[in-house]
Structure 1
Amino acid sequence: MSADATPVPVATRAPERQQQPLPFARASARRAGERVPFFDNAKYLAIVLVAAGHAWEPLREGSRAVTALYMLVYAFHMPVFIVLCGYFSRDWHASTERLARLVRGVAVPYVVFEVAYTLFVRWAGDGPDRPVSLLDPLYLTWFLAALFLWRLTSPLWRLLRWPLPFALAIAMLATLSPSIGNDLALQRVLQFLPYFVLGLLLRPEHFRLVRRRAVRVLALPVWAGALAVAYWAVPRMNYAWFFHSESAEALAAPAWYGPLMTLVTFGCSTVLVACFLAWVPGRRTWCTVLGAGTLYGFLLHGFVAQGAKYLGWYDPAWIRRPLGEITVTLVAAAVMTALCTPAVQRVFGWVAHSRRAYALPGREHGFGHNR
């Protein structure tokens, strides 16, 4: 991932040729604590798409265009995060120190926000008798549970000769198993697993390849084609396949659909992830600093998204017209941007972040710091 995208080559010379810096060099080759702007930019842009997708949920009914955009975004926005989490888990090992950091950076926020969301649901009247259960993730907390489990297993995937086919086989089998319950969002853990393993297999040169000009140009017709296919598929396909949260049986599909759709969605999502990363700025921009606060935006915006529905903000008729849909999108992006700011990071840093946290937005977590 370079490019304006690729950084300007350094003017130092080697014996007969110039040397170009590696924009995705390992941390040992970079200054201690230095963040890579590309990854923070990617996190911020992806988290804004998460907010937009949640804002579009109440607008899907009666709008084929909104539903098509919703399907397109859901095809790749979580895979982007999961692939990057895998990439930064390549060297993770189960030492006492790292396990402690994983607990502080992922498990603690999971517990705090699971309790907070449960109390919120009770207040909103959506589940007044719902007990606090750490085994049944609410709303967005499923991702923290999944990240905890994925990272624990990351050393095992390095022992396999063909880890990605093995992970795909597990995901395919999960779609055949309706008996897999909601405990720790296990269906999602297993069905999204191939994206995490893909990230484990990536190297800096793969990002440089994606950032080539030819790939960026090719990404434009791919995006146009993907949007056209999504618009065509709205009345013909159940977009819940991209949620990776149910078995084939639960989606009222024949059992053989599950493994097939696992491969189809993995292929589509991987291509869209590459196209997305191809256009993420590689230089420092106004939004780079916000990339460090994506965990805050991710966890906190759920209260806003759910509260907007409970409080009737979608009730006015104009909200479901083009101007209203655009307004909702812009408001969602603005709210998410505000929730990623350093001010919010300071207020909620006691729970969602520590200097050595392994959660979504920290320096040494699965996303921001190029270790």
Structure 2
Amino acid sequence: MKRDAIFDNAKILLIFLVVFGHMIQPTTNESSGMYTLYTWIYTFHMPAFIFLAGFFAKGSGNKNYIFKLAKKLILPYLIFQTIYTVFFLFIGKNEWLNAPFTPHWSLWFLFSLFCWHILLAVFKRIPPMVGITLSIVIGVSVGYVTDIGHDFSLSRTFVFFPFFLIGYWLTKEQVKSWRRPAVRTASVGIMAAVAVFIALAPEFDSGWLLGSKSYETLGAPEIGGVYRFGVYVIAALMSMSLLSWVPNKHYSFTALGGQTLYVYLLHGFIVQLFRQMEWVQVNNVIDIALYLVLSGVIVYLLSTSTIRTLTQPFIEGRAQLLRKQWAQINNDSYRMN
């Protein structure tokens, strides 16, 4: 699909919020303000990201698609699962040894993304409203499975699949229609209301937004399905509200929206080091501004051509950028001689 500024701008904003949210997470236990900010971000940042992943999955089903998908997602998953295991051991992080298919930290997204594409092969043959309704029913129901959790990213795969499927069925025109003045006005009220609710309900467990635990684990073994459906509604409204304000204009940073996988996979090394060293502390507004700037710097640096050239073999399973760089060096050396 032809790249569109609104979607790249949305992706760069969302990956920035992913990094920022991961950065400030250790501060949420001691500050109600940081907990409110963190939880507010989590109401939409992954649902919106997954929605965009589904939107760009419209070309699925081509010949050899599954093999290419496994190379694109499962291979880097296995590589980074190993690398993160070694890294966590190096920095002294407890419980660093995970089974191969118990994803380390943010790696669940790669495994779930692969599964969503597989599920899509079935669900795209079902009428959209029927399929979306069925996916929501499944997402609500799996919470009643006591043992479901991080293994094989099963819980998150089913819980977040409705957003992927909705993204698949929506058109570019429908998404852009959310930018109407009336929608934008309503979105401000929605985002403000959610922030107020979180601030006034500090007992709300942010685990409901992560999609990785059963209802029994979250303390609501009977009524958990109602809570999850409510989370679905809030996440959908918040995602639409955010996307309604994303500009449809090319900026100097817009192209970085095409490099978000690099940022997603690599930022953990920086954030986890900060966490383990207990360097993340927020005492005032200036500290928050500092972490906002730091998150932006991390996103930018991990999107640069140098980082992509060095890490492309691990992330994409190819060395096109390295070969291009090597050819350039040889050409420059030839000219000098």
**Matches for 1:184-263 after TM superposition, within 5 Å:** 184-233=152-201, 235-257=202-224, 259-263=225-229
Separation in 2, partners of 1:66, 1:84: 27
Structure 2 residue 14 is the aligned partner of structure 1 residue 40: no
Separation in 2, partners of 1:149, 1:62: 37
Q: Which amino acid is 2:42 matched to?
A: Y
Structure 2 residue 135 is the aligned partner of structure 1 residue 167: yes
Q: CA deviation at 1:351?
A: 2.3
Counterpart secondary structure, 1:237? coil
Cα gap change, 1:72/1:129 in structure 2, threshold over 3 Å: closer, same or farther?
A: closer
Partner of 1:103: 70
Partner of 2:307: 344
Separation in 1, partners of 2:280, 2:69: 38
Cα gap change, 1:311/1:334 in structure 2, threshold over 3 Å: closer, same or farther?
A: same
Indicate if the aligned counterparts of 2:16 and 2:299 stay in contact, CA closer than 8 A: yes
Unaligned runs of at least 5 residues, structure 1: 1-26, 28-33, 356-371
Separation in 2, partners of 1:86, 1:92: 10
Counterpart secondary structure, 1:286? coil
Counterpart secondary structure, 2:29? coil
Separation in 1, partners of 2:296, 2:171: 31
Counterpart secondary structure, 1:194? helix
Partner of 1:362: none
Structure 2 residue 120 is the aligned partner of structure 1 residue 154: yes
Cα gap change, 1:111/1:217 in structure 2, threshold over 3 Å: closer, same or farther?
A: same
Deviations 1:125-151 (A, max 9, x none): 2247725x3211001110000000100
Structure 2 residue 245 is the aligned partner of structure 1 residue 279: yes
Separation in 2, partners of 1:66, 1:173: 31
**Matches for 1:273-352 after TM superposition, within 5 Å:** 273-314=239-280, 319-352=282-315
Q: Which amino acid is 1:146 matched to?
A: S
Indicate if the aligned counterparts of 1:290 and 1:342 stay in contact, CA closer than 8 A: no
- Identity over the aligned pairs, expressed in percent? 28
Separation in 2, partners of 1:179, 1:54: 26
Please give the root-mean-square deviation of Cα atoms over the aligned residues, in Å.
Answer: 1.8
Separation in 1, partners of 2:21, 2:149: 25
Indicate if the aligned counterparts of 2:24 and 2:280 stay in contact, CA closer than 8 A: no
Indicate if the aligned counterparts of 1:53 and 1:73 stay in contact, CA closer than 8 A: yes
Counterpart secondary structure, 1:120? helix
Separation in 1, partners of 2:139, 2:57: 20
Partner of 1:139: 105
Q: Which amino acid is 2:211 matched to?
A: H
Partner of 1:122: 89
Q: CA deviation at 1:69?
A: 0.8
Separation in 1, partners of 2:303, 2:283: 28
Indicate if the aligned counterparts of 2:54 and 2:164 stay in contact, CA closer than 8 A: yes
TM-score, normalising length: structure 2:
0.89
Structure 2 residue 236 is the aligned partner of structure 1 residue 270: yes
Q: CA deviation at 1:202?
A: 0.9
Q: CA deviation at 1:99?
A: 1.9
Q: CA deviation at 1:37?
A: 1.8
Separation in 2, partners of 1:79, 1:250: 22
Q: CA deviation at 1:354?
A: 6.6
Counterpart secondary structure, 2:218? coil
Partner of 2:49: 81
Q: CA deviation at 1:312?
A: 2.7
Partner of 1:18: none
Cα gap change, 1:334/1:129 in structure 2, threshold over 3 Å: closer, same or farther?
A: closer
Q: CA deviation at 1:156?
A: 0.5
Separation in 2, partners of 1:66, 1:290: 28
Separation in 2, partners of 1:141, 1:135: 10
Cα gap change, 1:212/1:353 in structure 2, threshold over 3 Å: closer, same or farther?
A: farther
